Amino acid sequence: MGLRGFLPGLAVVLALSVSAPAIAHEDHDAPAVRGQSAASTAEGPRSGMMAMPGMAADMDHGAMMADEGPKPMPQRLYRWLGAMHPAAVHFPIALFLVAALLEIAALTLRRPVLTQGTRVIIALAAISAVGAVALGWFAMGMPGSDDATHASHRWLGTSIAALGLLSWWAKEHWVRRPGPGRERVYIGLLTLTAVAVVINGLLGGMLTHGVRHLMF
């Protein structure tokens, strides 16, 4: 068969491996979504009064896009962009935390070689954070009716984008002109960004999955 005969089979295997978890995830989540919809219908007008801040229904992007009746193109685009936010946030979360762990390992083990890739990682993290925050504003709309959890998630996420850009600037400034003062500024900004990312990730989980989603 040779290499040409092997590549189509490999492509099929990779496609199945990527699509299978997504299908399984959809099947797993479908009963929960139906249960939430039934509960909200049964409660009627009281559901808005009784819902705790951070319940999953507060940020149901699927329900946002399933309103009855056709919508104008700008409104559909607005809601579609907002629905991309839950997927987009994974990139800055992972990248900022990886960069922070590499910097900690380099300082602890005295292995500067571990930080060779952090310059690119932080740049990608900062850029993706700006994109994720923009999509988050599409998802949540303009401020005004936010509860405490939504408001905290909104403004902490916006602050993470700013901190990420500052961390990127500090990294570039330190690399081009090394010095202990510049290193401390960079490490401080990156640490603050990583802590904020963890806290805001927990807030996002509360909004998406409910306040008690991490109960053991």
Residue pLDDT, tens place only, 126-171: 999 999 999 999 988 888 888 898 899 999 999 999 999 999 999 9
Residue 64 lies in a domain: no
Dist CA 119 CA 168 (whole Å)? 8
Q: Do residues 30 and 114 both lie within one domain?
A: no
Contacts 24+ apart (CB under 8 A), 181-189: 187/103, 187/107, 189/163
Domain that holds residue 5: 1-50
> Residue 160 has what pLDDT?
96
Task: Tell me whether residue 91 is exposed, middle or buried, using C-beta atoms within 10 angstroms of its C-beta: 0 to 12, 13 to 18, 19 or more.
Answer: middle
Residue 72 lies in a domain: no
Residue 76 lies in a domain: no
Strand ranges, E, within 58-203: none
Residue 176 lies in a domain: yes
**Between these two residues, 62 and 18, which has the higher pLDDT value?**
62
Q: How many domains does the chain have?
A: 2
Dist CA 98 CA 121 (whole Å)? 8
Q: Do residues 105 and 36 both lie within one domain?
A: no
Q: Do residues 96 and 43 both lie within one domain?
A: no
Q: Do residues 98 and 20 both lie within one domain?
A: no
Residue 61 lies in a domain: no
Residue 215 lies in a domain: no
Is residue 109 pLDDT above 60, yes or no? yes
Q: For the residues 57-69, what does the mean pLDDT come to?
A: 50
Q: Do residues 107 and 45 both lie within one domain?
A: no
Q: Do residues 174 and 100 both lie within one domain?
A: yes
Q: Do residues 110 and 196 both lie within one domain?
A: yes
Dist CA 13 CA 41 (whole Å)? 42
Residue 214 lies in a domain: no
Q: Do residues 202 and 108 both lie within one domain?
A: yes
Residue 152 lies in a domain: yes
Asked whether the whole model's pTM tops 0.75, one would answer: no
